[in-house]
Amino acid sequence: MNGYYPIVLQLRGKRCVIIGGGGIAQRKLLGLLEAGADDVLLVSPSVTAQIERLAAEGKFRLERREYKEEDAKEAWLIFAATNDKRVNAAVAADGERFGVLVNAADEPDNSTFISPSVVRRGDLLLAVTVSGASPALSQQIKQELEAQYGPRYEEIAARLRRLRDRTLDMILDEQERRAVLKLAAEDAVQFNRNNFDTDEWLQSLYHRIDRRHS
Ligand SMILES: C[C@@]1(CC(=O)O)c2cc3[nH]c(cc4nc(cc5[nH]c(cc(n2)[C@H]1CCC(=O)O)[C@@](C)(CC(=O)O)[C@@H]5CCC(=O)O)C(CC(=O)O)=C4CCC(=O)O)c(CCC(=O)O)c3CC(=O)O
Ligand SMILES: NC(=O)C1=CN([C@@H]2O[C@H](COP(=O)(O)OP(=O)(O)OC[C@H]3O[C@@H](n4cnc5c(N)ncnc54)[C@H](O)[C@@H]3O)[C@@H](O)[C@H]2O)C=CC1
């Protein structure tokens, strides 16, 4: 069994490099752009039509050439996703040497991180991995989660963020705030879209907490 520690990375301002321009490189690229990465370089002599289109829209920098060592040296995080095992292994070894986070798409043993399957609903991020045992199972579980946690969860998360921000200056007692926020998370899933007001909601949560305590 492989042990992996999950983290969620903030990529703003971090140089993310993808070596390769096929279907796998494209999937890693879309994942980075969805995550808000704003300093992405993709290096490959040939690329898919979609990679080409996104490059033309200025979403990231494309260099049509083969990999060179400086690509790894200047990276914060790097994906080795070519169809040449030796190139992928060189990217991984260079990345390791320069202390860069490395994902080798063809060889988990050369990687410092692996990519999970991801469902995004606004601020809600669900990530699934089977630690390399079965990417197909990760994908299947992702589809189940997509059905279970539909698009309305984007609004639920946004609503809870607004409420939580409001409580930070309204409820100074930490215990009380915790009780309100836990009840709010239970409550949020039941709400329908209409007649929503953060302050009214907060008041009703307060009443219910009071009642529980008395
Ligand atoms: C270790 C890891 C490293 C990494 O890439 O990060 C890795 C490695 C490899 N994948 C291979 C095959 C496939 N990968 C997929 C799909 C995905 N692969 C992803 C992640 C990972 N793949 C990491 C482990 C994650 C985990 O286990 O949970 C996903 C989840 C995320 C993503 O890539 O963004 C994405 C689903 C995205 C989605 O949600 O839709 C499919 C399905 C398909 O293509 O339709 C197949 C064919 C079916 C199968 O094999 O199960 C091969 C053999 C290549 C060959 O035969 O040459 C290797 C190499 C090896 O295992 O040695
Ligand atoms: N991690 C995963 O989920 C999966 C990984 N794979 C692995 O990923 C590899 C890539 O798969 P695909 O994208 O389908 O391959 P592909 O054959 O469609 O694309 C390979 C790309 O690598 C580029 N390339 C080749 N040599 C290069 C170099 N020296 N420098 C920069 N770019 C170079 C080519 O221009 C091409 O764009 C496969 O060989 C396979 O081992 C395959 C399936 C799933």
Which ligand is in closest contact with the Cα of 146? Answer: 1
pLDDT tens, 47-72?
999 999 999 999 999 999 999 999 99
Q: Is the CB of residue 30 below 6 angstroms from any atom belonging to ligand 1?
A: no
The CATH superfamily of 16-115 is NAD(P)-binding Rossmann-like Domain (3.40.50.720)
CA 74 → CA 11, 60, 87, 114, distances in Å?
A: 15, 16, 17, 20
Answer CATH for 116-150 from 1.10.3470, 2.30.30, 3.30.160, 1.10.10: 3.30.160
Q: How far is the CA of 131 from the centre of ligand 1 (A)?
A: 10
Note the Cα 63 to chain centre separation in Å. 25
Return all residues near 92 (Cβ < 8 A) that are at least 6 apart: 80, 102, 104, 107, 110, 111
Q: What's the ipTM? A: 0.97
Ligand 2 pocket by Cβ (under 6 Å): 19-25, 43-47, 66-67, 81-84, 87, 105-106, 135
Mean pLDDT taken over the chain: 94
* pTM: predicted TM-score of the whole model, two decimal places: 0.95
CA proximity to 168, closest of 152, 156, 186, 180: 180
pLDDT above 60 (res 194): no
| Residues facing residue 17 across a β-bridge | 41, 78
pLDDT tens, 68-102?
999 999 999 999 999 999 999 999 999 999 999 99
Residue boundaries of the structural domains of the chain: 16-115, 116-150, 152-213
pLDDT tens, 105-140?
999 999 999 999 999 999 999 999 999 999 999 999
Q: Look at residue 117 and give its three-state secondary structure.
A: strand
